[in-house]
């Protein structure tokens, strides 16, 4: 599974059509959905957790490649 996250994160980080704001907004939406599920005492779907890991990794990769983190 770790390979799936890494592969997908690489693909997203290299996509020039996705802006840094898109990454930020997507993470915010995923975090809000997790918060809503936990507040309603519903199970958190595993796909949401997986996509949050992918988007976080892609955002970090893009930052490293752009030289933000040295």
Q: Label residue 13 exposed, middle or buried (CB < 10 Å: 0-12, 13-18, 19+).
A: buried
pLDDT by position in tens, the chain (length 70): 556 899 999 999 999 999 999 999 999 999 999 999 999 999 999 999 999 999 999 999 988 776 665 5
The region that residue 67 occupies, defined by phi over 0 for left and psi between -120 and 50 for alpha, beta otherwise, is left
pTM assigned to the model: 0.84
Q: Which domain holds residue 22?
A: 2-66
* Number of structural domains found in the chain: 1
């Amino acid at each position: 599974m770790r390979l799936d996250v890494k592969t997908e994160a690489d693909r997203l980080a290299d996509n020039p059509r996705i802006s840094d704001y898109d990454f930020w907004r997507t993470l915010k939406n995923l975090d809000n959905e997790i918060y809503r599920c936990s507040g309603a005492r519903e199970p958190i779907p595993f796909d949401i957790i997986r996509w949050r890991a992918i988007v976080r990794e892609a955002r970090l990769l893009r930052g490293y490649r752009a030289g933000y983190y040295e």
